[in-house]
């Protein structure tokens, strides 16, 4: 068995086909597009041939990459060898592997192959990508890579506990409320209707009067612009719904032993597992549209969850959770921690005025701009200060934090509301930052940084400077008790 | 609408931190090497030169030679003022300390930040030296953690020997820490 495992292996031969398809997508399609759009036949042919010539070395390079690429797993390392002329060897210690995802795009599923994405901490990109492998081989390799990680790998006897499962209906709701697009679309619709009504009125009036073309062209144009914007937003909203339904189809999050396992996707299928002790932070996201509906999304953040430079893919993102199900979910992930039982403290009351001042500056700038344009409604725009005040009050009321023995809880709100729960053992660095405006009032921002990417850093804004400094020192101090296991 | 809230006096008065001292950490905080002021100044001067030539070119296109002269003069005035004032202020704002359990780095003139990097969180430490730094005999140290905000914290303005000593000290202190 051991000798078999040491033997260097190649990727699945289908890799060549997928690579060719990838190159074709990048080179041949633009060539075709160029050929079709070119009016002159000669130009079209030249474009097609040019791109074709570019594709040949790319395909040859892909073949060379395939032939020269080898990987093997020793007892404690994954070794990736590549390079045609200069050999390159990447060694990933198994103990450093954070998680391994099996990803299957639609075509890969049909062909029975899969990609393995190997993440380690600290990297902003995926450290190792094995694309593509035979599906069974991918699963076996994943098990092998993760076996050393937890010491005891969960086997079939380990009970499986479902933490979240989403139906298509849930996903429609999740997509529809994922962001504020739907709300903006609705607002625009009402504006559009108001404009249209007045437009209709104007048309009726103008029939009464002599000429139809007295209808101000500007108004018609404004109507058109609003309608266009609305159509765009509606399309975005529908895309968001479709994205959630397709992307998260059959979403299941399970706890197996000390691991979280997730599965989702209709076309591209993703499976992965996260050891509980690798969880860096939990974020509870209640968007403006979700809060009144008693809904939230929960991100279970792990280290190294950036996927090859593309949009971050949080390792365990539950796109929709009922508000009353959030606490039980958190409790299952963070050793019985009850987020609802925590008393959150407010920040300095000055924060309300600081938020209001910031919003007011924008509104006043808008008013000034309108006044300069001699817009009749310029003074009326100051009415926006009323909702701005309400927003600032809400933001202050919701900007809260708690420093507990084992956890830091930070809540931030403006339109939506986000709550971070960070295990103190996972804090990487702590920062106290202050702007000149904050210093005028003796305030500062406490930043609690974790290894889970750009959104993993929780900011407690507008604490009294002394409090921020004292908390920073406390939070950066080594935790008592046994050192965290690797 | 005026900012109508009452002035809150309940919480702390602005403390006399205007000079940027850190009461908790001050005993050990160390400034950078004095030569870093020259380094920053040269960099700003070079930047000003580039900006002035771009500005002059734009001025020329808009208003001919007088435009070019005016634009260059304006850029030189702003850049010169920055280059003469900012480096010294920045030097005063900078400081770092290697404490028992962590590294403290303090920086920023207007937007001030004090970062605490526990030794256990340090993944690796680099020393780097650019061409200009080499001329001045300076180097900087970059401390890497797995964090995002504090993923790479640089300490500029160290002599090469000091930078290497600091790197070795931090590397020795850093724990092999799982994330």
Cβ-proximal residues to A217 (8 Å cutoff; 6+ apart), any chain: none
Inspect the interface and report whether the beta carbons of B115 and A466 lie closer than 8 Å. Answer: no
For residues A11 and A96, state if they share a domain.
Answer: yes
Measured between beta carbons, which residues in chain B are less than 8 angstroms from residue A450? 147-148
Chain B residue at shortest CA distance from A281: B179
* Domain end point (choices A107, A122, A157): A157
Is the same domain home to A65 and A146?
yes
Beta bridge partners of A134: A113
A95 Cα to chain B: minimum distance (Å)? 9
My answer on whether A23 and A148 are in the same domain is: yes
The helix (run of H) or strand (run of E) holding residue A36 is helix A29-37
Q: Do A9 and A129 belong to one domain?
A: yes
Q: CA B123, A471, B167: angle at the middle one, nearest 5? A: 25
Give residue-wise pLDDT tens across range A345-357: 999 999 999 999 9
CB pairs under 8 A between A and B: 141
Closest CA to A411 of A420, A109, A403: A420
Q: How many CB atoms lie within 10 A of CB A38?
A: 15
The ipTM, to two decimals, is: 0.80
| A214 located within any domain | yes
Query: Is A187 within a domain?
Result: yes
State the residue range of the domain holding A203.
174-247
Domain identity same for A152 and A106? yes
Domain limit, last residue, from A247, A267, A300:
A247
Supply the DSSP string of B91-119, one letter for each residue: HHH-EEEE-SSEEEEEE-SSSEEEEEEEG
**Same structural domain for residues A240 and A355?**
no
From A206-210, A460-464, B34-38, B148-152, the region with the lowest mean pLDDT: A206-210
pLDDT category at A183 given cuts 50, 70, 90 is: low
pLDDT score, position A440: 93
User: What does the DSSP 8-state code read for residue B31?
Assistant: P
Q: Which helix (H) or strand (E) holds B159?
A: strand B152-159
Q: What is the mean pLDDT of residues A3-13?
A: 73
* Predicted local confidence at residue A153, as pLDDT: 52
What's A9's domain CATH number?
2.30.29
Burial of A37: CB neighbours in 10 Å, binned 0-12, 13-18, 19+? exposed
- The mean-pLDDT minimum among A131-145, A233-247, A300-314, B116-130 falls in A300-314
pLDDT recorded at residue A348? 95
Same domain, A50 and A110: yes
Q: Do residues A20 and A70 share a domain?
A: yes
Say whether pLDDT at A36 is over 70. Answer: no
B28 at interface of A, judged by CB pairs closer than 8 A: no
Q: Name the least confident of A2-6, A87-91, A171-175, A361-365.
A: A2-6
**CB–CB contact A430 B116 (8 Å):** yes
- Could you report the per-residue pLDDT of B40-64, keeping only the tens digit for each? 999 999 999 999 999 999 889 888 8
Count CB atoms within 10 A of the CB of residue A346: 14
Question: Is residue A194 predicted with pLDDT exceeding 70?
Answer: no
Q: How far is A109 from chain B (nearest CA, A)?
A: 33
Tell me, yes or no, whether A141 and A205 share the same domain. no
Substitution target in B148, B153, B154 with the highest count of A β-carbons within 10 Å is B148
Which residues face A370 on adjacent strands?
none
Kindly report the number of other CB atoms within 10 A of residue A59's CB atom.
16
pLDDT class of A150 with cuts at 50, 70, 90: low
Q: Do A428 and B145 touch (CB under 8 A)?
A: yes
Count the domains in chain A.
3
């Amino acid at each position: 068995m051991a000798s078999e495992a040491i033997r260097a292996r190649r990727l699945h031969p289908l890799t060549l086909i997928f690579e060719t398809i990838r190159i074709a997508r990048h080179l041949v399609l633009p060539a075709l597009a160029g050929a079709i759009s070119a009016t002159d036949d000669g130009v079209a042919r030249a474009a097609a041939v040019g791109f074709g010539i570019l594709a040949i070395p790319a395909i040859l390079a892909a073949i060379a990459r395939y032939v020269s690429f080898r990987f093997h797993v020793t007892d404690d390392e994954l070794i990736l060898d590549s390079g045609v002329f200069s050999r390159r060897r990447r060694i990933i210690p198994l103990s450093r592997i954070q998680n391994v995802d099996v990803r299957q795009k639609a075509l890969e599923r049909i062909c029975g192959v899969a990609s393995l994405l190997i993440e380690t901490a600290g990297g902003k990109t995926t450290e190792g990508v094995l694309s593509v492998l035979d599906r069974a081989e991918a699963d076996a390799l994943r098990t092998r890579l993760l076996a050393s990680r937890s010491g005891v790998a969960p086997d079939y006897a380990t009970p499986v506990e479902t933490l979240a499962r989403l139906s298509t209906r849930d996903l429609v709701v999740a997509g529809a409320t994922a962001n504020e697009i739907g709300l903006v679309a609705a607002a625009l619709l009402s504006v559009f209707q108001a404009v249209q009504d007045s437009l209709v009125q104007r048309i009726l009036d103008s029939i009464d009067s002599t000429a139809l073309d007295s209808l101000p062209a500007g108004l018609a144009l404004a109507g058109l612009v609003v309608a266009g914007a609305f159509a765009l937003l509606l399309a975005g909203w529908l895309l968001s719904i479709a994205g959630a339904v397709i992307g998260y189809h059959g979403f299941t999050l399970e706890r197996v032993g000390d691991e979280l396992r997730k599965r989702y996707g209709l076309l591209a299928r993703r499976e992965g597992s996260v050891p509980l002790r690798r969880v860096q932070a939990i974020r509870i996201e209640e968007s403006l549209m979700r809060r009144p509906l008693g809904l939230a999304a929960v991100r279970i953040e792990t280290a190294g969850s950036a996927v090859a430079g593309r949009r971050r893919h949080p390792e365990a993102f539950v796109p929709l959770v009922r508000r009353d199900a959030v606490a039980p979910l958190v409790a299952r992930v963070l050793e019985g921690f009850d987020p609802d039982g925590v008393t959150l403290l407010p920040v300095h009351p000055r924060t309300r005025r600081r938020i209001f001042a910031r919003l007011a500056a924008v509104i006043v700038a808008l008013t000034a701009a309108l006044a300069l344009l001699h817009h009749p409604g310029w003074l009326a725009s100051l009415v926006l200060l009323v909702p701005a005040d309400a927003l600032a009050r809400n933001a202050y009321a919701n900007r809260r934090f708690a420093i507990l023995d084992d956890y830091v809880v930070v809540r931030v709100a403006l339109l939506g509301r986000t709550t971070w729960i960070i295990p103190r053992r996972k804090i990487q660095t702590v920062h106290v930052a202050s702007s000149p405006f904050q210093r005028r009032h003796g305030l500062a921002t406490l930043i609690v940084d974790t290894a889970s990417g750009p959104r993993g850093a929780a900011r407690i804004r507008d604490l009294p400077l002394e409090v921020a400094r004292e908390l920073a020192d406390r939070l950066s101090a080594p935790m008592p008790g046994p050192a965290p296991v690797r | 609408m005026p900012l109508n809230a009452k002035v809150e006096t309940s919480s702390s008065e602005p403390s006399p931190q205007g000079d940027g001292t850190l009461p908790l950490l001050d005993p050990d905080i160390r400034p950078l090497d004095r030569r870093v002021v020259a380094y920053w100044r040269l960099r700003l001067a070079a930047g000003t030169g580039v900006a002035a030539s771009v500005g002059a070119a734009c001025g020329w296109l808009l208003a001919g030679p007088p435009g070019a002269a005016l634009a260059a003069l304006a850029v030189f005035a702003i850049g010169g003022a920055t280059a003469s004032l900012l480096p010294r202020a920045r030097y005063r704002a900078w400081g770092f300390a290697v404490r028992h359990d962590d590294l403290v780095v303090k920086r920023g003139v207007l937007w001030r930040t004090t970062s605490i990097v526990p030794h256990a969180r340090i993944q690796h430490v680099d020393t780097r030296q650019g061409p200009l730094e080499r001329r001045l005999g300076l180097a900087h140290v970059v401390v890497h953690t797995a964090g995002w905000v504090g993923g790479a914290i640089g300490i500029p303005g160290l002599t090469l020997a000091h930078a290497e000593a600091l790197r070795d000290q931090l590397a020795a202190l850093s724990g092999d820490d799982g994330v």
